[in-house]
Amino acid sequence: MTRNIGQIDRVARFALGALLIVLAAMGTIGIWGYLGAIFVGTAFVSFCPLYRIVGLKTCKDC
């Protein structure tokens, strides 16, 4: 897996994913909020399969 997520994208993904997970755990938005784990996971590995499919890269040095 070649890195295709830049630093700003990683921070945004982590924040959004964590927010979704917390809201789902509180019962505010329902079970679909646990999909935020996908955002958190892709932020940790700096790789997004969908970006690869469409040929998008948000990192400067990759």
pLDDT digits (tens, 9 = 90+) for 4-58: 999 999 999 999 999 999 999 999 999 999 999 999 999 999 999 999 999 999 9
> How many domains is the chain built from?
1
Domain-located, residue 26: yes
Domain-located, residue 27: yes
The helix/strand/coil state of 16 is: helix
Give this prediction's pTM: 0.88
| Ramachandran category for residue 30: left, alpha or beta (phi over 0 → left; psi -120 to 50 → alpha) | left
Domain-located, residue 43: yes
Domain that holds residue 36: 7-54
Q: Are 55 and 2 in contact (CB under 8 A)?
A: no
Domain-located, residue 32: yes
28 burial level (CB within 10 Å; 0-12, 13-18, 19+): exposed
Sign of the CA dihedral running 6, 12, 15, 21? negative
Domain-located, residue 59: no
Domain-located, residue 2: no
